[in-house]
Structure 1
Amino acid sequence: MLLRVTDLFKSFPGPDGPLPILNGISMVMEAGETLALTGESGSGKSTLLHLVGGLDQPDSGQVEIDGVDIGSLDDSGRAAIRRDKSGVIFQQFNLIPSLTIAANIAFQARLAGVEDKDWSADLAARMGLTDQLGKYPEQLSGGQQQRVAIARTLAARPSLVLADEPTGNLDEATADTVMDLMLTLVAETNAALLMVTHSQRLAERMGRRLHLRAGRVA
């Protein structure tokens, strides 16, 4: 089992006391699986994704990646999991403006000590970025920047890819193209893909769907 989430609870401070966001979520994923995380705004989708990615900690419950309870790790331990096991694709790209596109793509893999220049070049080519490698993020369109963000994550060959509305800023045609590329590449690397999306059309392309309502599995 690559990912196991057990009885996860999370709340945030509110004006009248703690505001429950997740109420006992449990789920599992195997390597190679694709899972769409759907639900209305405020249902807890992004919160769950951030907890799985070790970007935040639950009030109670467990997140295990490759048998490791990431809640038992300190900050550096969780950072190591993100570096070596999981990769996050954010809706806002989070590219480094001072680095070229080539350096942005290689960044995560270099941190993990697994840089493969041939693989990075292959990713760039398949994302249609070969002619953009010497440019900087601000010189690219939103769709191109999202392709860079996906290539950066996949360059490190993570076992688990976490994508938070990765096509939310793109038009439908560009979103379909980016989705095609992402699904093909995670299949080739046998990575599991957990994707938050509001799009029912895109969710239907994933192997499974988990729908949240008010912090619970609907």
Structure 2
Amino acid sequence: MILILSEVTKSYPTPEGRVEILRGINLAVRAGESVALTGESGSGKSTLLHLIGGLDRPDAGEIVMNGKYVSALGDDGRASYRRTDVGLVFQQFNLIPSLNVAANISFHAKLAGRFDKGWEDEITDRLGLRPLLNRYPEQLSGGQQQRVAIGRTLAARPPLVLADEPTGNLDEATGDAVMELMLSLARSAAATLLFVTHSTRLASRLDRKVILHGGRIGE
């Protein structure tokens, strides 16, 4: 197993008191597996991805990724973990406006010390981005920006890719195409994929589906 979560809990303070979001999450994911994480809005899917991605810390429980105890890392350790162990793809794209497409794609790979020109060329071609390499994010459509964001993440060959509804802002046809490209490239990179989606249609294309409900996971 590349990812193991044991009794992970998370709550947040509100004026009315603390609200429990995750109530003892247990999950194991095999290396190279693609997993759809589904559940109703507000069920904690994004919170769970943020914990696994090292963007936040759980209140209790353990998160172990590739033998690394993510839940025990300090700020510096989690920053290093995000550079080398995990790739994040969100709806907001989060491209760097001052960099062109080529520089955006290579940014994380260079930061992680994993820049590979041949792999980047393959990603660029398969995502259909070669004609856009000299453009800047503001000159791209939403679908083009999402493909750049996926390329940037996969160029660094992270062992684990976390995708938080990356096709949520795209029309159905574009979303389907982006999903297929992401799955194909993740397999080529031997990456494990955890994909948050509301779409049962998209979820059915992954190896397995888990459902988050009432702060717990079922299958």
State the alpha-carbon separation in 2 of the partners of residues 40 and 86 from structure 1.
25
Query: Does the aligned pair in 2 maintain the 1:42–1:214 contact within 8 Å?
Result: no
1:67-102 deviation per Cα after TM superposition (whole angstroms, max 9, x unaligned): 111122111111111111110001100000000000
**Contact 1:104–1:152, Cα closer than 8 Å, also in 2:** yes
Per-residue deviation, 1:214: 2.0
Q: Secondary structure at the match of 2:167?
A: coil
Counterpart position of 2:25: 25
Normalised by the size of structure 1, how large is the TM-score? 0.98
For structure 1, the 5+ residue unaligned runs are none
Q: Are 2:93 and 1:93 equivalent residues in the alignment? A: yes
Residues 27 and 217 of structure 2 are in contact (CA less than 8 Å); yes or no, is this contact kept in structure 1? Answer: no
Is 1:124 aligned to 2:124, yes or no? yes
C-alpha distance in structure 2 between counterparts of 1:16 and 1:176, whole Å = 41
Q: Could you say which residue in structure 1 is the equivalent of 2:176?
A: 176
Q: Partner of 2:137 in structure 1?
A: 137
1:3 paired residue number: 3
2:50 matches 1:47: no
- Residues 1:202 and 2:202 are matched in the alignment: yes
Q: How many residues align?
A: 218
Q: Percent identity?
A: 60
* Structure 1 residue 120 displacement after superposition: 1.1
TM-score of the pair, normalised by structure 2? 0.98
* Alignment correspondent of 1:189: 189
3-state SS of the aligned residue for 1:99? coil
What root-mean-square deviation, in Å, do the aligned CA atoms of Structure 1 and Structure 2 show?
0.8
- The residue identity in structure 2 corresponding to 1:153 is T
Moved over 4 A (4+): none
Whole-Å Cα distance in 2 between the matches of residues 108 and 189 of structure 1?
15
Q: In the aligned structure 1, how far is the partner of 2:30 from the partner of 2:94?
A: 28
Instruction: Return 5+ residue gaps in structure 2 as ranges.
Output: none
